[in-house]
Amino acid sequence: MIPGLDQVSLAVSPDGAWAAISGTAQTRAEAASGGGYPRGQARIFVINTRSGRRKVWQGGLTRPGFELTFPSMSWGSARSLYVLAQWCRRQAFPQGNVACNAYHAQPVSEFRVIDTSGPGGSLRTAPPVLRTSARYPVILQAVAADAGRVIIALIRIGHHVSVVRIDAATGHVDAVLFRHAAPAFNGRTGPYLAFLAVDGTGQYVLVNEDGNDLAGWIHQGRYHSLLSRNGNGLGVAW
């Protein structure tokens, strides 16, 4: 049994043997009210899909006054789980997954890799692969590709959002796959919701921002819209 979670992310290993679920547990009162937003620190459950056996990674990444969430997770191999850790001062934006609630506050992000062959434990043991920096001031989403040798990331620099391919070994951008003006709402730069997915070849990227504001797939530097009139997209997958 996994406790009720908010700010949930899910990823299944390439062989289908393991499912990773992350989120922040709500108190019983918050869950009953339906209006309780997550507090504290998120944790990651890695579950064997055949036996139901689970491992838990939590703690070790606490920053006083910040809430920790995991906007995305992806597998580089059958044992390497890549997670985007994001810290927000006070709390994450309750109607989004990549923004902070404090006015004009920016999230602090790290892309880390967990060796899931272990029994679970502290998240501090997961080394960082990519961090918020002058080169990457706002990392909104990041997923592993090509067995962890490549990172596909959604980056915001100023008032522009880019989907980029990064060499995991050097941290350098190999290619800018797509770039557009960042959405804005009441003077705040978005997006607040963002999802990213990469196919098994690493050549095709799905991106969704703020529900139905931008939704499509990218290949060889060309963006193909998948906008729908039938509602908002709140997640993407191949």
Q: Cβ distance 163 to 142 under 8 Å?
A: no
In terms of Cα–Cα distance, which of 76, 78, 5 is closest to 44?
Answer: 5
What is the pLDDT averaged over residues 100-126?
Answer: 86
**In the predicted model, is pLDDT for residue 68 greater than 70?**
yes
Q: String of b and e for 25-51 (b: at least 16 CB within 10 Å)?
A: bbeeebeeeeebbbeebbbbbbbeeee
- Residue tagged 């193909």 (tokens): 224
Which of these ranges, 22-26, 156-160, 168-172, has the smallest mean pLDDT? 22-26
What would the pLDDT profile of 219-235 be if each residue is shown by its tens digit?
988 999 887 655 555 56
65 burial (CB, 10 Å; 0-12 / 13-18 / 19+) is exposed
| Bond prior to 191 in cis (omega within 30° of 0) | yes
CATH topology of domain 5-225: Neuraminidase (2.120.10)
Domain ranges of the chain: 5-225
What is the pLDDT averaged over residues 207-216?
Answer: 78
188 burial (CB, 10 Å; 0-12 / 13-18 / 19+) is middle
Give the number of C-alpha atoms closer than 13 A to the C-alpha of residue 41, restricted to the C-beta side: 13
Predicted local confidence at residue 12, as pLDDT: 93
What would the pLDDT profile of 82-110 be if each residue is shown by its tens digit?
999 998 876 666 556 777 765 457 889 99
Predicted local confidence at residue 232, as pLDDT: 54
Which tokens belong to 138?
């706002």
pLDDT band at 24 (very low <50, low <70, confident <90, very high): confident
Predicted local confidence at residue 23, as pLDDT: 84
